[in-house]
Each structure stands twice: as structure tokens, then as C-alpha cells.
């Protein structure tokens, strides 16, 4: 099933939180399941950092990022709910982002793409739902960066949904996590083919920097336990002394190269910075008052082994939500997969997702 498109903000531009405007914003989205008569079964899915509008593919040769979670009778039950998933503002999978054509110049935005926050992404998602004549959501669900979007939905539009499910995202990034993101950005920015972000017309792309950034990112998504089980200190039969000598090095190189085929460097920079800057209290007097706006039942799931959104940060977020009077359901799970558990560890997350969606 092809990704669907909508063009929003054609008559009045979107004013962005950090200044500037965007008009005629194209949004890529996908739907799954069947909308019931009173439109009471709609669930919005918010994707993680490098995700897209397609958590599930119908074609057997392709895999979506939540392929094993979605389907008839599964945790994301398509026989019960009508799911909508969008590619976020600033992305590179069909929604307006740095690689899109700037109507003012008829050239890709590149370095001229404005700075964006999670709050801006949520405004675009809300506009899409209005375009689709959806007036209420049964739930908003997301993991990692998607969990931050789900949280902001509950703050900015507290009467719009009944349930929020946040998988593996604290209410803000730790200093360590921001540090990882900084190193990843510097790898891209210092690639000789980055050209300040205006590389689209050059025929060259900052592939080396983006691949290195992805390799570092993969180490924050996995765990030392999983890497030890998968690779240990095994070496390759034919190895490069300064390159892929160990199997784990070969794995990281493969992931970096694979990433180049599906992601844009500028989008990566903008989304990483939006991740760093996420602050639920932006435009509100303080965090307590911002979180106190949440009316939905809020489910928060933490993974003990998460290397990116660490357990201490999730527990801190739990207390902040509770202190603000949020109706909170909190779970801690152990998984060898670390942060990526919410994408692959169906056994651990199935029941928590069902409960978060109000199935018991």
C-alpha cells in the first residue's frame, strides 16, 4: 500500500517555535486497520528518530520498523484500531524537510531549513488529523523520539486523547546523551562533502560522516551484553587491520553503509537537535504546570539496560509525572536488546502496549 500525502498550511504558514515559518508543508502518512463509524478507535503512532510513516509493510520482502507488533490480534491490533502514522516534519521520507524544495528559491532548503522542535512536529500532526476530520484519538503511542512526541501531544492537546503510551523516552535528554548526539553531528558537519548543508546539487553527499554517526548511534541503541553474545572478540577471516578486523567492527560498518541508502544527513542533524532540545515545559511557566495539563492515562515503559535513555532518567521522569498529578502507569522491563527493545522485543512489550491502549 502506497504512502499517502497531504499538503497542509497552504493558506496560512506554520509559525515555528524557534522563529521562522513554513508553508505548503507536505506530510507523508499511512493508515492501517478500519475506522469505525463514530471514529472512536483512532491511534496515532509517532515514530522514533530515523523512522517513517510505515511501521508495517504489506509486501513480504519488506519489513517495517514495527512489523512484528502490528496486525490482526497483535499488540497493535488492526482488527480493533485505526492507526495513523506520519513521517515527522524535518524528515526525509516524504514529509517536508531539508531536502525538500524551498518554494522561495525553487532549490532544496539545505542550510536554509529552519530550526524545528518536537512541538512543531506535533502541530503538523494535529493539522493532518484536522485535515482527515479526526476530532479525537483513542491513544497516541511512540517509542524513543516518538515517546517525546506522544508526551507533547498530551500536554498541548490534553482533551484530544484518552491514552498516551511512551516507550523508552525520558522527559528530556541527559548530558551524556546530548554528548553522543554532538559527536554524531560533528562527524557529519566535518565531512568534506557536507558543504554547510548545501550538498544536494554537488553530486557528493557527506556519506562518510553520516555512516560514522550511525555507527556511534548503534552503540547507544544496543547493549554490551547483546554485542558480546552476538560477536564477542571474533575476528574476520579476511580483515583490515585498521578497519573491519573484529566481527563487531564489520557489523557497525554494515549498519553505517546501510543507513546511507535511506536517510538524509541534514534531516539527521535537525532531528538529533530536536531530540536534544526537547523540553515539555517550552512555552509553559514550568515543568510541573506543563505536565499537569495531561488528562490522558499515561503509560511509561523503561528498559533496565537502556544505554541511551537510562533507567535513572526514566525514574526521574516517573517522579516528575507523578508529582504533577498525572494518572501514570509505570513499568520496568529487562531486555538484552537495550534501547532497541521497543522495536524488536515483542514478548516483553506486548502486554504493556495492550494495557496502555486500554485493553486491560
Mean pLDDT of 93-116: 97
User: How many residues belong to the chain?
Assistant: 360
CATH code for the structural domain at 4-173+280-357: 3.40.50.1820
The yes-or-no verdict on residue 165 having pLDDT over 70 is yes
CB 163 within 8 A of CB 358: yes
pTM score above 0.85: yes
Counting residues of the chain whose pLDDT is more than 90, the rounded percentage is 95
Q: Is the separation of the CB atoms in 191 and 210 below 8 Å?
A: yes
43: helix, strand or coil: strand
pLDDT at residue 126 is higher than 80: yes
Residue 353: pLDDT band with limits 50, 70, 90: very high
Q: What is the mean pLDDT of residues 67-81?
A: 96
**Is 120 marked within a binding site?**
no
Least confident of 99-108, 122-131, 164-173, 235-244: 235-244
CB 221 within 8 A of CB 204: no
Taking only the tens place, the pLDDT of each residue in 129-154 is 999 999 999 999 999 999 999 999 99
**For residue 204, what pLDDT is reported?**
94
- What pLDDT sits at residue 62? 81
Report how far residue 232's alpha carbon sits from residue 137's, in angstroms, rounded to the nearest whole number: 46
Confidence of residue 57 (pLDDT cuts 50, 70, 90): confident
Confidence of residue 195 (pLDDT cuts 50, 70, 90): very high
340 is in an annotated binding site: yes
Distance CA 80, CA 82 (A): 7
pLDDT score for 359: 83
Residue burial 322-341, b: 16+ Cβ < 10 Å; e: rest: eebebebebbebebbbbbbb
pLDDT, residue 247, reads: 96
By the 8 A CB rule, do 95 and 86 touch? yes
CATH, domain range 177-273: 1.10.1740.110
Distance CA 80, CA 344 (A): 22
Q: What is the mean pLDDT of the chain?
A: 96
pLDDT tens-digit series, residues 306-333:
999 999 999 999 999 999 999 999 999 9
Concatenate the DSSP letters of all residues of 141-184 into one string.
Answer: EEETHHHHHHHHHHHHSTTSEEEEEEES--SS--HHHHHHHHHH
Catalytic residues: 144, 306, 339
DSSP E strands in 95-150: the ranges are 101-102, 107-108, 137-143
What is the per-residue pLDDT for 187? 98
Domain boundaries, the chain: 4-173+280-357, 177-273
Amino acid at each position: 500500500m502506497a504512502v499517502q500525502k497531504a499538503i497542509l498550511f497552504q493558506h496560512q504558514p506554520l509559525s515555528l517555535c524557534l522563529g521562522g515559518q513554513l508553508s505548503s508543508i507536505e506530510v507523508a502518512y499511512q493508515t492501517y486497520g478500519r475506522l469505525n463509524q463514530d471514529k472512536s478507535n483512532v491511534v496515532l503512532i509517532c515514530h522514533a528518530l530515523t523512522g517513517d510513516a510505515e511501521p508495517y509493510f504489506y509486501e513480504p520482502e519488506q519489513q517495517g520498523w514495527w512489523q512484528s507488533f502490528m496486525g490482526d490480534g497483535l499488540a497493535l491490533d488492526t482488527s480493533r484500531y485505526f492507526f495513523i502514522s506520519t513521517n515527522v516534519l524535518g524528515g526525509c521520507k516524504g514529509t517536508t524537510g531539508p531536502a525538500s524544495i524551498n518554494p522561495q528559491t525553487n532549490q532544496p532548503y539545505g542550510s536554509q531549513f529552519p530550526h524545528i522542535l518536537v512541538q512543531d512536529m506535533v502541530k503538523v500532526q494535529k493539522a493532518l488529523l484536522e485535515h482527515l476530520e479526526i476530532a479525537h484519538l483513542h491513544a497516541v503511542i511512540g517509542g524513543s523520539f516518538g515517546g517525546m512526541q506522544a508526551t507533547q501531544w498530551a500536554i498541548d492537546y490534553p482533551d484530544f486523547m484518552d491514552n498516551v503510551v511512551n516507550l523508552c523516552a525520558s522527559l528530556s535528554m541527559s548530558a551524556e546523551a546530548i554528548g553522543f548526539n554532538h559527536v554524531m553531528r560533528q562527524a557529519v558537519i566535518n565531512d568534506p562533502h557536507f558543504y554547510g548543508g548545501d550538498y544536494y546539487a554537488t553530486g557528493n553527499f557527506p556519506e562518510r560522516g553520516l555512516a560514522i554517526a550511525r555507527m556511534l548511534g548503534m552503540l547507544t541503541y544496543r547493549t554490551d551484553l547483546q554485542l558480546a553474545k552476538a560477536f564477542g572478540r571474533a575476528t574476520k577471516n579476511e580483515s583490515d587491520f585498521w578497519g573491519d578486523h573484529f566481527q563487531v567492527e564489520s557489523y557497525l560498518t554494515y549498519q553505517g553503509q546501510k543507513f546511507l541508502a535511506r536517510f538524509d544527513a541534514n534531516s539527521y542533524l535537525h532531528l538529533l537537535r530536536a531530540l536534544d532540545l526537547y523540553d515539555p515545559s517550552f512555552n509553559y511557566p514550568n515543568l510541573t504546570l506543563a505536565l499537569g495539563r495531561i488528562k490522558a492515562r499515561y503509560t511509561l515503559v523503561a528498559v533496565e539496560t537502556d544505554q541511551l535513555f537510562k533507567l535513572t532518567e526514566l525514574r526521574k521522569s516517573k517522579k516528575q509525572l507523578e508529582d504533577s498529578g498525572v494518572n501514570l502507569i509505570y513499568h520496568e522491563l529487562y531486555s538484552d536488546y537495550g534501547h532497541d527493545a521497543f522495536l524488536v522485543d515483542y514478548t516483553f512489550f506486548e502486554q504493556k502496549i495492550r494495557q496502555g491502549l486500554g485493553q486491560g
